[in-house]
Amino acid sequence: MKAFLKHAFHLCLMSVLVLFGSIAFAAPAKADELPSFFPPGISQVKSPHEQWERYLEYLKATSVCHSPNENSPPVSYSGNMKIVRETFGKKVTYNFDAYRKEADGKIYYSDYCGRKLISEHQWKVDSEWMMSHVSEAVREDYRYYGGIEQAVVKLDAAMKKKPEADVRKELAQVVPELAQLSPPVTFRELQQMPAAPFAERDFVQTEVHFQHAPYFGAVWLNTELVFLTYQGMMFDYIVGKPVVAMHELVHGNEKFQDWVMSDMMDFELLASINMMLIPEEQMSLMFHSYAKEWREMIRVVFGFDFAQARKDIVVFNHDGANIRINTQKFDEYAGKLTAVKAAMLAHYRDRVLPELYRNQI
């Protein structure tokens, strides 16, 4: 079981059609209206130190109500509200696990602090915002990873000095030694090259759950089942990009990441490329555990000393366990990484990923 869970379940940090009667007549949500589960006054900020400070402030403000303890695990209730909607040509069931509509037509939102009545308009604001959040994550993932398969084939054709059309024909052929299997294995599958071609729908998961949980997002590989949490969406809003959702939907793309390959690659790192290296996200490269290898690469190649940077940024005073940061140093060091992140972002898409999927050995 432990091995199965290791392959199947990724916890990652740093959607039956139901008609709701009068909801169809609720006032449309305004573009600037935010979900009710956000803390009051939540702000989007661009400077590195403000992102860090706001993230910790909002996490503290919502942790009691949003994070389960050992006696209250996350649960997907059968009676919770659902919406089925086509997303990039795929039928998706969106499950709003914290929302329930009772027989009297009233809608309630629940968390670990209690249960509250919300209006139909607020429900529309919340649900539309969350579904749009997923769609934006799909667009962002496709914008970055959409051409990977073509790049892999192009590189393979160049290495073999063959036309790309010939390479594709060869990849589609069955491996003679594996022809007896049902279904038989193609050379593309044997080499574990991404299936062709990518489309936005490949990043779409057919069952999406929005719930309270002890993580920001999670996905079951090869199931098209993804979980996104309210704190994770809060984090995404602060950054200004749906980075947590982007990360999870990369895991969910079976053409790109498959559980069979999970012992051969660092899936968390690969799903973090367009999450942690984009200009908007100013925290993870400096502190997140998934970026450990990147920090070592950057130290060797660019001479950036992360250990010294963290010493200069994080100041431990003697007034208890209060962590304070040097905001000037934080912004200074993050600014120095801007060009490095841009270079790595392009390098992974144009060179590293094509080579990795072309020849994993």
pLDDT of residue 67 exceeding 70, the answer is yes
| Residue whose token pair is 């062709």 | 196
DSSP-derived pairing of the beta strands 207-211 and 90-101: parallel
pLDDT in the model for residue 216: 94
Model confidence band, residue 317 (pLDDT cutoffs 50, 70, 90): low
> Residue 356 pLDDT more than 90?
no
Whole-number pLDDT of residue 320: 55
Do 198 and 149 meet the contact criterion of CB atoms below 8 Å apart?
Answer: yes
Lowest mean pLDDT among 49-53, 232-236, 260-264: 260-264
Residue 64 reports pLDDT greater than 60: yes
Helix (H, G, I), strand (E, B) or coil at 107: strand
Supply 90's token pair: 């795929």
Please report the pLDDT score of residue 259 as a whole number. 55
| pLDDT for the residue 9 | 36
> Which letter does DSSP use for residue 284 in this model?
H
DSSP-derived 3-state class of residue 77: coil
The band of 169, judged by pLDDT with boundaries at 50, 70 and 90, is very high
Which residue pairs from 119-125 have beta carbons closer than 8 angstroms and sit at least 24 positions apart in sequence?
A: 119/26, 120/20, 120/22, 120/23, 120/26, 121/26, 121/27, 121/29, 122/36, 123/23, 123/26, 123/81, 123/99, 124/23, 124/26, 124/27, 124/28, 124/29, 125/29, 125/30, 125/33, 125/34, 125/35, 125/36
Q: For CA atoms 175, 178, 184, 185, give the dihedral sign.
A: negative
Per-residue confidence band for 207, with pLDDT thresholds at 50, 70 and 90: very high
Q: What pLDDT is attached to residue 260?
A: 54
pLDDT at 16 (0 to 100): 26
Mean pLDDT (the chain) is 86
Residue 19 confidence (pLDDT): 25
Closest CA to 286 of 267, 247, 312: 312
Residue tagged 């009051």 (tokens): 40
Write down the pLDDT at residue 226: 96
Above pLDDT 90, what percent of the chain?
A: 68
pLDDT in tens, 97-140: 999 999 999 999 999 999 999 999 999 999 999 999 999 999 99
C-alpha dist (Å) from residue 166 to 163, 299, 356:
5, 41, 21
Mean pLDDT, range 251-263, rounded to an integer: 74
Task: Report the C-alpha dihedral over residues 145, 151, 156, 162, rounded to 10 degrees.
Answer: 150
Does residue 10 have a pLDDT over 50?
A: no
Task: In whole angstroms, give the CA distance from residue 79 to residue 89.
Answer: 27
Q: Across residues 307-317, what is the average pLDDT?
A: 85
Whole-model pTM: value is 0.86
Percent of the chain past pLDDT 70, that is, above it, reads 87
pLDDT score recorded for residue 325: 85
- What is the model's pLDDT at position 205? 96
275's tokens: 């999450």
d(CA 45, CA 254): 34
Q: Per residue in 52-63, pLDDT tens?
A: 999 999 999 999
Q: What is the DSSP letter of 96?
A: E
Q: How far apart are CA 173 and CA 61, in angstroms?
A: 56
**What is the sign, positive or negative, of the torsion defined by CA atoms of 211, 213, 218, 219?**
negative
Residue pointed to by tokens 């250990």? 307
Q: With bands split at pLDDT 50, 70 and 90, how would you rate the model's confidence at 242?
A: very high
pLDDT tens digits, residue range 277-300? 999 999 999 989 999 999 999 999
Side-chain-facing half-sphere of 150: CA atoms under 13 Å: 7
Judged against a pLDDT cut of 70, whether residue 1 lies above it is answered with no
* Residue 285 near residue 277, CB atoms below 8 Å: yes
- For residue 222, pLDDT over 60 is answered with yes
Of residues 266 and 87, more confidence is placed in 87
Give 20-48 pLDDT, tens digit per residue: 222 233 333 455 789 999 999 999 988 99
Residue 49: is it exposed, middle or buried by C-beta count within 10 angstroms (0-12/13-18/19+)?
Answer: buried
